[in-house]
Chains A and B, each alone.
Chain A
């Protein structure tokens, strides 16, 4: 089973709202990732967690705040977003944070008004 789940599927929020995206995997993977994908562009890495510790932050604005409560869960907290943050947010996981295959969840499509 290579399933990564994400909730919600769609999210519309105002620029003053606070919301969270959730990601879950039960494959025993110890690395989890957040990517952002704009239309007709490839996924761009935002954050990487390895063994529940933040390993990579790709200079993402502080209005995006990741959290890894345990080895199966990954959250992305959103606050004071801008319309240009509207995108598909993808969660992925892999056995380890190395050269391993990453499996993607279905994504959350976010619209910021």
Chain B
């Protein structure tokens, strides 16, 4: 079982729709969860981090964490073509004491 799993996509949504990106993790002791956006040929850019169960909102982005289900998600409201990128879920894994990335989900927003 992979430590962090994401659906590779691509996930295609129309402009203005809500994009929902999902991630599961295996280490129950994990405490910190991050979403990074990566455009082709560029480095990962932090979008959000979440530590507590529930929702955390920042502008058009909402991160959701459910530690009991070992599930973290990212919602992007009013999706724009500029949101088209690969979204990387990253989890701080206590075993190994390091940040582990999922394979990433490709998001395509069609205008």
Known: A45-B99, A102-B34. 18 other contacts (CB 8 A): A2-B46, A42-B88, A42-B101, A43-B44, A43-B101, A45-B98, A90-B43, A90-B44, A97-B97, A99-B32, A99-B51, A100-B32, A101-B46, A102-B99, A104-B44, A104-B45, A106-B43, A107-B43
Considering residues A42, A88, A106, which has the most beta carbons from chain B within 10 angstroms of its beta carbon?
A: A42
Q: C-beta contact mask, A10-28 vs B, less than 8 Å → 1, else 0?
A: 0000000000000000000
Distance between B62 CB and nearest chain A CB, rounded to angstroms: 18
Partner of A106, one of B42, B88, B102: B42
Can you offer 11 A-B residue contacts whose CB atoms are under 8 A?
A42-B103, A42-B104, A45-B98, A45-B99, A45-B100, A48-B98, A104-B36, A104-B43, A104-B45, A105-B43, A106-B42
**How many inter-chain residue pairs (CB < 8 Å) link A and B?**
43
Distance between B60 CB and nearest chain A CB, rounded to angstroms: 20
Q: C-beta contact mask, B81-109 vs A, less than 8 Å → 1, else 0?
A: 00000001000100001111111100000
Closest to A100 in B: B32
Q: Judge whether B31 is part of the interface by a CB distance below 8 angstroms.
A: yes
Find chain A residues with CB under 8 A from B36 CB: 104
Distance between A58 CB and nearest chain B CB, rounded to angstroms: 8
Range class of the A interface residue count: 20 to 34
Distance between A40 CB and nearest chain B CB, rounded to angstroms: 8
Distance between B100 CB and nearest chain A CB, rounded to angstroms: 8
Distance between B107 CB and nearest chain A CB, rounded to angstroms: 15
Q: Judge whether B49 is part of the interface by a CB distance below 8 angstroms.
A: yes
Find chain A residues with CB under 8 A from B104 CB: 42
Partner of B49, one of A41, A42, A101: A101
Q: Identify the 5 closest CB pairs spanning chains A and B, nearest first.
A: A42-B101, A99-B32, A104-B43, A99-B92, A107-B43
